[in-house]
Amino acid sequence: MAKAMTKSAILKTLADKTGLKKKEVTAVIETLVAMAYKEARNTFVVPGLGKLVLVQRPARTVVMRFGPKAGQTVPVPAKKVVRFRIAKAAKDAILK
Contact status, residue 81 vs residue 55, Cβ threshold 8 Å? yes
Give per-residue pLDDT as tens, 45-71: 999 999 999 999 999 999 998 888 888
Give the pLDDT score at 28: 95
Task: Please check the confidence at residue 20 and state whether its pLDDT lies above 80.
Answer: yes
**Average pLDDT value for the chain:** 93
Q: How confident is the model at residue 1 (pLDDT cuts 50, 70, 90)?
A: low
Give the pLDDT score at 29: 95
Q: What is the DSSP string of 25-75?
A: HHHHHHHHHHHHHHHGGG-EEETTTEEEEEEEEPPEEEE--SSTTTT-EEE
Using a cut of 0.85, tell me whether the model's pTM lies above it.
no
